Chain A
Amino acid sequence: MVTVAAIDDSSLQLTFVLFLTVVVITLFTALLTAPQRDEISEFYLGNRAMSPLRNGLAMCGDYLSAATLLGSTGLVALTGYDGLMYLGGTTVAWMMVLLLIAEPLHRTGKFTLGDTIALRLPRGQRPVRLALSVCILAIATLYLVAQLVGGVALLTQFTGVPSATTRTLCVAVIGTFVILYASLGGMPGATVIQIIKAVMLVVGVLFTAGWVLHHYDWNPNALLTAAADRSGNGPQFLEPGLRYGGTVSNKLDFLSLELAIVLGLAALPHVLMRLLAPRRSGVLRSSVLWAIGLVGAVCFGAGILGLGATALVGKDTIVGTDRTGNASVLLLAHELGGSLLTALLTCLAYLTLLAVAVGLTLAAASSIAHDLYSEVIRKGRASETEELTVARLSGAVIGVLGILLALVAWGANTATLAFLAFAMAASSILPTIIYTLFWRRFSAKGALLSLYGGLACSVLLVLFSPVVSSTAGSMYPDADFAWFPLQNPGIVSIPAGFFLGWLGTVLDKGRPEDSSAHEEFEVRMLVGADD
């Protein structure tokens, strides 16, 4: 971990004031716009008549986490070309959502993904809903822990390794805000913070990127030359292979990571929930287009920030402050705009992780209340008030669980945890979505096998990977039971999830679902019920 305090005290105080101001203002707005009646549709979906730009901003806010703002720019600063490919994957991921998933899912969906699957597999819906909420809970909790751990890592940039009290305080304060937003505000509250965060993120990143380019007289070639010169690697900085080169297993590891990023987005529970929010599918299409544009712009700007950090600050200082490169954006901000810009970007980073954490908590709480409690435990007989109470309570429980796990795993690497969550989503939930939408024969047994099997496969592979044991950066550096060589399980577990879904369906000898259910589903998916 880091030993040097990177940035001076005054910007920490400024950050603190700024962050609290933004959070208090948004919290008030969120509470004012919170659901006033006991209506579950308002709690789950928020304002359904929002314009495409606002929806797109909210999607962008849900998707871009602190791992992108700090981790990916750090990767660009340290490894150049490899880091830039990583940012490319972050943007390309949206293409699959736009082209295959968004509109069919929106036309067949109601509140959660479980509703879509229940429409398609009406007889076997209860076990599938249970499996789905188990998967969503696992993925959302892991991703939530990644965000909270990111908060501690960010604090480390200012104070050096924080004491146990500071750490606990930091995680507990952020966690409490998350619970307040998610449980009291519901989807309308989450939307407020997502939009504010997305606007600040887009403006902040593009403004700083413009500043970097202005420093080099808007000449990209000069920026690339300066970055290569100060990277300590010369021209190799702008060539592939600095981080993931060399052995075949390194290259496969990167491919695995890219697969998880590109395919995982389409299965992240909070993004899926956001897709159901607009009422009309035309609005949804424009919203996703806005989201792609905004995410592309932020990723493009983040690439420039990473290159600028190497060019202006130099690799030695970045590595000296934080081995993983997470400090690069803040160091760049300090170099360009002094403590004011540093404070602004730090505040932005905190807001980013807070907003993503709220989205995740809300998605997990909805899945528990709607799929698990209302449909599985109460078998569809729960009243709306009851379901809403369960949703609010489970939001609080998930928040507390996230806080406790984050306190245990505070030294873990945010980006690694986040991309494990992506890999888990892509190997358990994505096969079920794709098969439900596009495969006529898909059965409930196939869904169960791909959900549980894909989840188990990815979790087991992680347990036996270098993330957990055998290397200096892993959770148990002294033990060695890592027979799986890759950091990210995606390249094995994603095909495994798809294979298990196919296998379960083929082996299903029970009575098939009525063909009328599939027909009705297909009519709904293509023709839709709205407009």
Chain B
Amino acid sequence: MPEFPPRREDTPTFPLPHIEHTPPSRISDHPEFHSLRRAQRRFGIRATILSVGGFLLYVLLSFFAPVVMNQPLFGRLTIGLALGLGQFAIMGVTAWCYVRHMRTRVDPLAHGLRVRLHEDESRRSRPAAPQSDAGQLFQQGARGFRAW
């Protein structure tokens, strides 16, 4: 066993090189965090209003404007029934837009912030991080096929 005196981790004797790169010390002050919050929340609320509100509007229209909804379009299909089928289409499109929005706008931002958060954490407790990474890699490697 080497007999060095225990070194305190939180008093670096030399300036850490990358501490100047991240002036906001907390992740929640970061401008990227704010744009992440805006991107996720604004889309979620708008899309919910569009799909759920659209459906409730359709219910209201059916009851309070039956003359419009009963116009025949095509055989037995009325405007009301067609709009009802349209709800399924709206849902599909909204879900697709949501996935695309999350993939292109939200996920990259969240990933970047997550990496930064991990860096901050590992700076605070250096020895713990690499071990858990290795464990995860091993677990992923053990599962070589994709189940249904």
A residues with CB within 8 A of B: 49, 51, 53-54, 81, 84-85, 88-89, 91-92, 95-96, 98-100, 220-221, 224-225, 228, 238-241, 244-245, 251, 254-255, 258-259, 262, 285, 289, 292, 296, 300, 438, 519, 522-523, 526-528, 531
Contact = CB atoms under 8 A, between A and B. Distances in A.
Contacts, number: 132
Given A84-B81, A239-B69, A239-B78, 12 more contacts: A51-B146, A53-B148, A88-B88, A92-B87, A95-B91, A98-B95, A99-B48, A221-B76, A224-B77, A255-B60, A522-B28, A526-B113
A522 B110 CA distance: 12
Contacts of A225: 75-76
Contact of B95 (A84, A95, A240, A523): A95
Interface of B: 26-28, 33, 36-37, 40-41, 43-45, 47-48, 51-52, 55-56, 58-60, 62-64, 66, 69-70, 74-78, 80-81, 84, 87-88, 91, 94-95, 98-99, 102, 110-111, 113-114, 117, 143, 146-148
10 contacts: A88-B55, A224-B75, A225-B76, A228-B76, A240-B62, A519-B28, A523-B27, A526-B37, A526-B40, A527-B27
B44 A99 contact: yes
Contacts of A92: 51-52, 55, 87, 91
A54 B111 CA distance: 26
Contact of A296 (B48, B58, B88, B110): B88
Contact of A100 (B48, B58, B81, B88): B48
A515 to B, nearest CB: 10
B63 A221 contact: no
Given A88-B87, A258-B59, A238 B76 contact: yes
B56 A259 contact: yes
A527 B59 contact: no
Task: Select the residue from A49, A54, A239, A255 with max chain B CB neighbours within 10 A.
Answer: A239
Interface of A is mostly: helix
Nearest to A51: B147
Contacts of B81: 81, 84, 238
B99 A289 contact: yes
A221 B146 CA distance: 43
A239 B44 CA distance: 33
Contact of A528 (B37, B41, B62, B110): B110
Task: Select the residue from B48, B76, B81, B143 with max chain A CB neighbours within 10 A.
Answer: B76
Contacts of B102: 285
Contacts of B98: 98-99
A220 to B, nearest CB: 8
Contacts of B56: 255, 258-259, 262
Nearest to A244: B63
A300 B27 contact: no
B55 A292 contact: no
Contacts of A251: 63-64
A85 B59 contact: yes
B88 A292 contact: no
Contacts of B26: 519
Q: Nearest 9 pairs between A and B by C-beta?
A: A224-B76, A221-B75, A240-B62, A95-B51, A251-B63, A92-B55, A519-B28, A527-B113, A99-B44
Contacts of A100: 44-45, 48
Nearest to A94: B91
Contacts of B33: 523, 526-527
A99 B94 contact: yes
